[in-house]
Amino acid sequence: MEDPNTINRRKAITKLGAGFLAAAASNGMAASQIPDHSSMQDTLENPVDRYPKPPFKSQSQPWPGLAQDMDPPPDHGEKSYKGSGRLVGRKALITGGDSGMGRAAAIAFAREGADVAINYFPTEEPDAREVVKLIEEAGRKAVPLPGDLRDEDFCQKLVRDAVQALGGLDIIVSNAGRQQTRASILDISSEDFDWTMKTNIYAPFWIIKAALPHLPAGSTIIGTTSEQAYDPSPDLYDYAQTKAATMNYVKSLAKQLAPKGIRVNGVAPGPIWTPLQVSGGATQEKLQKFGGQTPLRRPGQPAELASIYVQLAASDASYATGQVYGSAGGSGQP
């Protein structure tokens, strides 16, 4: 005869499972989309050998560059990222969503159940089309919003269009950035300096300001800063300044918006294999050795940061605000 305690436990587990299915369905998540954790296994891999190492092939593209034309192509989690329903029902706007960390975040967010609007420079359309397809294949709504973030009117329109298309907004990832290597401050024109500042600092200011009236309590803002905020390279004088400013606006805004229930955090990558590097962000000499100076002896891939963006966006990280999460292969200071 079976132990009554065993029977009671089985009934409780059955009810719990049924309750989870009902809750998922009420959030618009089909039972077929609920992951079967019994079949999931985290395969151990040596991080040193997981991705390509230098030396890399010399290569150059016109700014802002395309991920699909890089050799080797970056990994944004296209084949590897598996969602678990952490962002079901959420609505995200990601700048620089066509490539790099923005693309990795877009793929991850969609596979976690969020609808996603991505902004990108118009010449990045080929990469953006790939991202839109991946979001839609995850069963989520994709909203492509190309345009130049140096224009305040466009940034305001970007937010309006995202809110209208998504039916609201509760995640902002301010990720787009411009990086151009210059050996000397004497080589940086006022036009170049202004371009970097407008893209990296003005645009987040305009976008966040326009978005705030639409963000309910529980919303999150995530800025992409960099190890350059802590340990700047001599040839990235203007870019490094903007990343230090990003780190500081994250911490300042987090204090300002905490009483409203809006969290603000940052991600600080180290050397990550993105089109920034091949479109003027690094010299050819630096590119060929890219990431080799880290303890892991290689650059990171955007896919390796995707879960950080998900964690900062998810509601179960509700006590994390004003934080900067580093991912730099053992280097960097955050």
297: exposed, middle or buried (Cβ count in 10 Å: 0-12, 13-18, 19+): middle
DSSP string, 17-53: HHHHHHHHHHTT--GGGS--GGG-------TTTSS--
Residues with catalytic function: 239
Q: How many residues does the chain have?
A: 334
Burial of 330 (0-12, 13-18, 19+ CB in 10 A): exposed
CB 219 within 8 A of CB 186: no
DSSP-based three-state secondary structure for 273: coil
In contact, 57 and 294? CB cutoff 8 Å: no
Using an 8 Å Cβ cutoff, are 61 and 275 in contact? yes
Alpha-carbon 38 to chain mean position: 28
DSSP string, 248-266: HHHHHHHHHHGGGT-EEEE
